[in-house]
Structure 1
Amino acid sequence: MEKDTLNSPRTRPVTMESTVEAILERARKDSGAIQAWSFFSTYYKETYGMRRYPSVTLQQFLENPELYMPDAKTLQHIQLNLKLKRALMQKHFQRDLAKLHEAKVVLLKDWSSYKEAVEIGPMTRTVLSGALIQALLQSPGSSLYKRK
Protein backbone atom coordinates (compact mmCIF):
# COMPACT_ATOMS: atom_id res chain seq x y z
CA MET A 1 0.00 0.00 0.00
CA GLU A 2 1.33 3.41 -0.96
CA LYS A 3 2.17 5.75 1.89
CA ASP A 4 0.18 8.97 1.81
CA THR A 5 1.47 11.53 4.28
CA LEU A 6 -0.77 14.31 3.08
CA ASN A 7 -3.84 12.38 4.22
CA SER A 8 -2.50 9.95 6.79
CA PRO A 9 -4.63 9.31 9.90
CA ARG A 10 -2.18 11.42 11.95
CA THR A 11 -2.81 14.51 9.88
CA ARG A 12 -5.84 16.44 8.80
CA PRO A 13 -6.98 15.80 5.23
CA VAL A 14 -5.80 18.29 2.66
CA THR A 15 -8.52 20.69 1.57
CA MET A 16 -8.60 23.82 -0.52
CA GLU A 17 -8.38 25.71 2.80
CA SER A 18 -5.10 24.00 3.78
CA THR A 19 -2.15 26.36 3.94
CA VAL A 20 0.70 25.91 1.51
CA GLU A 21 3.02 26.26 4.50
CA ALA A 22 1.44 23.24 6.24
CA ILE A 23 1.61 21.18 3.05
CA LEU A 24 5.28 21.99 2.49
CA GLU A 25 6.04 21.41 6.17
CA ARG A 26 4.55 17.91 5.93
CA ALA A 27 6.65 17.21 2.85
CA ARG A 28 9.74 18.60 4.58
CA LYS A 29 9.22 16.52 7.72
CA ASP A 30 8.49 13.34 5.78
CA SER A 31 10.53 13.66 2.62
CA GLY A 32 10.52 9.87 2.35
CA ALA A 33 6.91 10.07 1.19
CA ILE A 34 7.89 11.94 -1.98
CA GLN A 35 7.84 9.91 -5.19
CA ALA A 36 11.32 8.54 -5.84
CA TRP A 37 11.25 9.22 -9.59
CA SER A 38 10.23 12.83 -8.99
CA PHE A 39 13.03 13.32 -6.45
CA PHE A 40 15.63 11.75 -8.74
CA SER A 41 14.56 13.66 -11.83
CA THR A 42 14.64 16.95 -9.90
CA TYR A 43 17.82 16.53 -7.88
CA TYR A 44 19.86 14.07 -9.94
CA LYS A 45 18.52 15.16 -13.36
CA GLU A 46 17.92 11.48 -14.09
CA THR A 47 15.07 9.11 -13.18
CA TYR A 48 17.30 6.03 -13.15
CA GLY A 49 14.44 3.96 -14.53
CA MET A 50 12.14 4.85 -11.63
CA ARG A 51 9.35 5.99 -13.99
CA ARG A 52 8.53 2.27 -14.18
CA TYR A 53 7.63 2.53 -10.49
CA PRO A 54 5.55 5.73 -10.27
CA SER A 55 4.02 4.96 -6.89
CA VAL A 56 7.30 4.08 -5.13
CA THR A 57 8.19 6.63 -2.49
CA LEU A 58 11.70 7.64 -1.58
CA GLN A 59 11.31 5.74 1.71
CA GLN A 60 10.26 2.56 -0.10
CA PHE A 61 13.22 2.93 -2.42
CA LEU A 62 15.62 3.39 0.51
CA GLU A 63 14.26 0.32 2.31
CA ASN A 64 15.20 -1.94 -0.61
CA PRO A 65 17.21 0.03 -3.20
CA GLU A 66 18.60 -3.03 -4.98
CA LEU A 67 15.07 -3.99 -5.98
CA TYR A 68 14.74 -0.82 -8.05
CA MET A 69 18.39 -0.11 -8.85
CA PRO A 70 20.35 -3.26 -9.71
CA ASP A 71 23.41 -1.30 -10.94
CA ALA A 72 25.74 -1.08 -7.92
CA LYS A 73 27.73 1.88 -9.27
CA THR A 74 24.61 3.97 -9.88
CA LEU A 75 23.22 3.01 -6.49
CA GLN A 76 26.46 4.04 -4.80
CA HIS A 77 26.34 7.41 -6.60
CA ILE A 78 22.78 7.97 -5.37
CA GLN A 79 23.55 6.96 -1.79
CA LEU A 80 26.70 9.10 -1.56
CA ASN A 81 24.80 12.22 -2.61
CA LEU A 82 21.44 11.56 -0.97
CA LYS A 83 21.99 13.55 2.23
CA LEU A 84 23.13 16.58 0.25
CA LYS A 85 20.22 16.31 -2.20
CA ARG A 86 17.67 16.05 0.62
CA ALA A 87 19.19 19.11 2.32
CA LEU A 88 18.96 20.96 -0.98
CA MET A 89 15.29 20.01 -1.26
CA GLN A 90 14.67 21.39 2.25
CA LYS A 91 16.37 24.65 1.27
CA HIS A 92 14.25 24.85 -1.88
CA PHE A 93 11.05 24.34 0.12
CA GLN A 94 12.01 27.25 2.40
CA ARG A 95 12.98 29.52 -0.50
CA ASP A 96 9.79 28.70 -2.40
CA LEU A 97 7.61 29.22 0.65
CA ALA A 98 9.02 32.74 0.94
CA LYS A 99 8.18 33.35 -2.73
CA LEU A 100 4.65 32.04 -2.19
CA HIS A 101 4.13 34.32 0.81
CA GLU A 102 5.47 37.28 -1.15
CA ALA A 103 2.94 36.52 -3.90
CA LYS A 104 0.17 36.27 -1.25
CA VAL A 105 -0.36 32.56 -1.94
CA VAL A 106 -1.36 31.30 1.50
CA LEU A 107 -4.02 28.65 0.93
CA LEU A 108 -4.18 25.76 -1.50
CA LYS A 109 -7.08 27.50 -3.25
CA ASP A 110 -4.75 30.48 -3.82
CA TRP A 111 -2.24 28.09 -5.36
CA SER A 112 -4.91 26.73 -7.71
CA SER A 113 -5.53 30.26 -9.00
CA TYR A 114 -1.96 31.58 -9.14
CA LYS A 115 0.23 28.51 -9.72
CA GLU A 116 1.42 29.74 -13.11
CA ALA A 117 2.21 33.24 -11.83
CA VAL A 118 4.57 32.19 -9.03
CA GLU A 119 8.03 31.03 -10.00
CA ILE A 120 8.99 28.17 -7.69
CA GLY A 121 11.11 25.05 -7.99
CA PRO A 122 9.92 21.80 -9.53
CA MET A 123 9.75 19.80 -6.29
CA THR A 124 7.64 22.42 -4.52
CA ARG A 125 5.41 22.61 -7.60
CA THR A 126 5.07 18.80 -7.59
CA VAL A 127 4.16 18.70 -3.88
CA LEU A 128 1.59 21.50 -4.14
CA SER A 129 0.07 20.16 -7.36
CA GLY A 130 -0.24 16.70 -5.77
CA ALA A 131 -1.96 18.24 -2.75
CA LEU A 132 -4.30 20.18 -5.04
CA ILE A 133 -5.29 17.00 -6.86
CA GLN A 134 -5.94 15.23 -3.54
CA ALA A 135 -8.06 18.13 -2.30
CA LEU A 136 -10.08 18.16 -5.52
CA LEU A 137 -10.58 14.40 -5.41
CA GLN A 138 -11.95 14.68 -1.87
CA SER A 139 -14.10 17.75 -2.40
CA PRO A 140 -17.81 16.80 -2.70
CA GLY A 141 -18.45 19.86 -4.86
CA SER A 142 -15.81 18.84 -7.37
CA SER A 143 -16.47 16.90 -10.55
CA LEU A 144 -13.36 14.88 -9.60
CA TYR A 145 -14.81 13.82 -6.23
CA LYS A 146 -14.30 10.15 -5.37
CA ARG A 147 -16.43 8.52 -2.73
CA LYS A 148 -14.53 6.40 -0.24
Structure 2
Amino acid sequence: MMEPTQENNPITTPLTMESTVEAVLERARDDWGAMNAWNFFSIYYGNPYGMHRHTAVTMQQYLENPEKFVPDAAKREYIQLNLKLKRSLMQKNFQRDLAKLHEAKVVLLEDWSSYKEAVEIGPMTRMVLSGALIQALLQSPGSILYKRK
Protein backbone atom coordinates (compact mmCIF):
# COMPACT_ATOMS: atom_id res chain seq x y z
CA MET A 1 0.00 0.00 0.00
CA MET A 2 1.20 3.47 -0.78
CA GLU A 3 1.74 6.03 1.96
CA PRO A 4 -0.71 8.93 1.77
CA THR A 5 0.82 12.33 1.08
CA GLN A 6 -0.91 15.68 0.79
CA GLU A 7 -1.17 15.12 -2.99
CA ASN A 8 -2.55 11.56 -2.95
CA ASN A 9 -4.48 11.43 0.33
CA PRO A 10 -7.61 9.49 -0.65
CA ILE A 11 -9.70 11.17 2.04
CA THR A 12 -9.03 14.78 1.01
CA THR A 13 -8.33 14.50 -2.72
CA PRO A 14 -11.37 14.85 -5.03
CA LEU A 15 -11.93 11.84 -7.27
CA THR A 16 -10.87 12.11 -10.90
CA MET A 17 -10.44 9.60 -13.70
CA GLU A 18 -6.73 9.59 -12.73
CA SER A 19 -7.49 8.52 -9.14
CA THR A 20 -6.03 5.10 -8.39
CA VAL A 21 -8.31 2.20 -7.60
CA GLU A 22 -5.99 1.51 -4.66
CA ALA A 23 -6.62 4.98 -3.17
CA VAL A 24 -10.37 4.58 -3.64
CA LEU A 25 -10.38 1.19 -1.88
CA GLU A 26 -8.11 2.50 0.91
CA ARG A 27 -10.55 5.31 1.57
CA ALA A 28 -13.50 2.90 1.71
CA ARG A 29 -11.49 0.62 3.98
CA ASP A 30 -10.29 3.31 6.40
CA ASP A 31 -13.02 5.97 6.40
CA TRP A 32 -16.50 4.95 7.59
CA GLY A 33 -17.64 8.36 6.34
CA ALA A 34 -16.91 7.18 2.80
CA MET A 35 -18.75 3.85 3.14
CA ASN A 36 -22.40 3.71 2.10
CA ALA A 37 -24.36 1.98 4.88
CA TRP A 38 -26.88 0.34 2.52
CA ASN A 39 -24.05 -1.24 0.53
CA PHE A 40 -22.23 -2.48 3.62
CA PHE A 41 -25.29 -3.94 5.34
CA SER A 42 -26.67 -5.50 2.16
CA ILE A 43 -23.42 -7.24 1.30
CA TYR A 44 -21.98 -8.16 4.69
CA TYR A 45 -25.18 -8.73 6.66
CA GLY A 46 -27.47 -9.75 3.80
CA ASN A 47 -30.01 -7.22 5.07
CA PRO A 48 -30.11 -3.43 4.57
CA TYR A 49 -31.81 -3.01 8.00
CA GLY A 50 -34.21 -0.34 6.84
CA MET A 51 -31.61 1.65 4.93
CA HIS A 52 -32.84 2.88 1.57
CA ARG A 53 -30.72 2.05 -1.47
CA HIS A 54 -30.58 5.54 -2.94
CA THR A 55 -29.82 7.49 0.22
CA ALA A 56 -26.38 8.74 1.14
CA VAL A 57 -26.30 7.43 4.72
CA THR A 58 -22.73 6.50 5.57
CA MET A 59 -21.52 3.98 8.10
CA GLN A 60 -20.18 6.90 10.15
CA GLN A 61 -23.67 8.42 10.32
CA TYR A 62 -25.10 5.04 11.29
CA LEU A 63 -22.51 4.57 14.06
CA GLU A 64 -23.18 8.05 15.46
CA ASN A 65 -26.90 7.36 15.83
CA PRO A 66 -27.76 3.68 15.25
CA GLU A 67 -31.17 4.01 16.94
CA LYS A 68 -32.28 6.44 14.25
CA PHE A 69 -31.68 3.88 11.50
CA VAL A 70 -32.30 0.56 13.27
CA PRO A 71 -34.93 0.99 16.02
CA ASP A 72 -34.90 -2.69 17.03
CA ALA A 73 -32.41 -3.12 19.92
CA ALA A 74 -31.79 -6.82 19.16
CA LYS A 75 -30.88 -6.04 15.54
CA ARG A 76 -28.58 -3.21 16.64
CA GLU A 77 -26.85 -5.54 19.10
CA TYR A 78 -26.41 -8.18 16.38
CA ILE A 79 -24.91 -5.54 14.06
CA GLN A 80 -22.58 -4.27 16.79
CA LEU A 81 -21.40 -7.74 17.83
CA ASN A 82 -20.49 -8.64 14.25
CA LEU A 83 -19.25 -5.27 12.99
CA LYS A 84 -15.54 -5.82 13.63
CA LEU A 85 -15.64 -9.23 11.92
CA LYS A 86 -17.61 -7.89 8.93
CA ARG A 87 -15.24 -4.93 8.53
CA SER A 88 -12.22 -7.28 8.66
CA LEU A 89 -13.84 -9.46 6.01
CA MET A 90 -14.44 -6.39 3.83
CA GLN A 91 -10.78 -5.35 4.22
CA LYS A 92 -9.59 -8.85 3.31
CA ASN A 93 -11.86 -8.84 0.24
CA PHE A 94 -10.54 -5.41 -0.82
CA GLN A 95 -6.95 -6.73 -0.62
CA ARG A 96 -7.81 -9.83 -2.65
CA ASP A 97 -9.68 -7.77 -5.24
CA LEU A 98 -6.93 -5.15 -5.45
CA ALA A 99 -4.47 -7.91 -6.37
CA LYS A 100 -6.88 -9.06 -9.11
CA LEU A 101 -7.24 -5.49 -10.38
CA HIS A 102 -3.46 -5.03 -10.52
CA GLU A 103 -3.11 -8.37 -12.31
CA ALA A 104 -5.63 -7.12 -14.90
CA LYS A 105 -3.67 -3.83 -15.15
CA VAL A 106 -6.57 -1.81 -13.74
CA VAL A 107 -4.76 0.96 -11.86
CA LEU A 108 -6.82 4.11 -12.42
CA LEU A 109 -10.55 4.82 -12.40
CA GLU A 110 -10.14 5.43 -16.12
CA ASP A 111 -8.94 1.81 -16.48
CA TRP A 112 -11.90 0.67 -14.37
CA SER A 113 -14.32 2.44 -16.72
CA SER A 114 -12.93 0.40 -19.62
CA TYR A 115 -12.37 -3.00 -18.02
CA LYS A 116 -14.89 -3.25 -15.16
CA GLU A 117 -16.80 -6.08 -16.82
CA ALA A 118 -13.66 -8.15 -17.45
CA VAL A 119 -12.39 -8.37 -13.86
CA GLU A 120 -13.77 -10.93 -11.38
CA ILE A 121 -14.05 -9.07 -8.07
CA GLY A 122 -16.43 -9.05 -5.13
CA PRO A 123 -19.65 -7.04 -5.01
CA MET A 124 -18.46 -4.50 -2.41
CA THR A 125 -15.31 -3.66 -4.38
CA ARG A 126 -17.41 -3.37 -7.54
CA MET A 127 -19.90 -1.03 -5.80
CA VAL A 128 -17.16 1.14 -4.30
CA LEU A 129 -15.27 1.51 -7.59
CA SER A 130 -18.42 2.08 -9.65
CA GLY A 131 -19.59 4.74 -7.19
CA ALA A 132 -16.17 6.41 -7.33
CA LEU A 133 -16.27 6.32 -11.13
CA ILE A 134 -19.64 8.09 -11.15
CA GLN A 135 -18.31 10.73 -8.73
CA ALA A 136 -15.24 11.28 -10.92
CA LEU A 137 -17.39 11.59 -14.04
CA LEU A 138 -19.68 14.09 -12.30
CA GLN A 139 -16.60 16.24 -11.59
CA SER A 140 -15.00 15.82 -15.02
CA PRO A 141 -15.82 18.74 -17.38
CA GLY A 142 -15.39 16.56 -20.49
CA SER A 143 -17.94 14.01 -19.28
CA ILE A 144 -21.59 13.89 -20.29
CA LEU A 145 -22.31 13.39 -16.57
CA TYR A 146 -20.48 16.59 -15.56
CA LYS A 147 -22.39 18.68 -13.03
CA ARG A 148 -21.65 22.38 -12.84
CA LYS A 149 -21.38 23.74 -9.35
TM-score under structure 1 normalisation? 0.90
C-alpha separation between the residues in 1 aligned to 2:75 and 2:53? Answer: 17
Deviation for aligned residue 1:9: 10
1:137–1:52 distance in 2 versus 1, CA, 3 Å: closer
Q: Identity of paired residues, percent?
A: 77
Counterparts of 2:120 and 2:139 in 1: how far apart (Å)? 27
Q: Which letter does structure 2 place at the counterpart of 1:113?
A: S
1:125 matched residue in structure 2: 126
- Residue equivalent to 1:13: 14
The number of residues matched between the two structures is: 141
Counterpart Cα distance in 2 of 1:10 and 1:19:
13
Runs of 4+ in 1 over 6 A off after TM superposition: none
Q: Which amino acid aligns with 2:124?
A: M
- Aligned partner of residue 96 in structure 1, secondary structure: helix
Indicate the larger mover: 29-38 or 106-115: 29-38
The aligned residue for residue 5 of structure 1 is none
CA RMSD of aligned residues (A): 1.7
1:30-75 C-alpha deviation (Å, 9 max, x unpaired) = 1342111110000001111111772110010011101111111111
Counterpart code for 1:106: V
TM-score normalized with structure 2 length:
0.89
Q: Which residue of 1 aligns with 2:104?
A: 103
Mark the runs of 5 or more structure 1 residues left unpaired by the alignment: 1-7
- Cα distance in structure 1, aligned partners of 2:11 and 2:37: 23
Specify every segment of 5 or more residues in structure 2 that has no aligned partner in the other structure, as ranges.
1-8
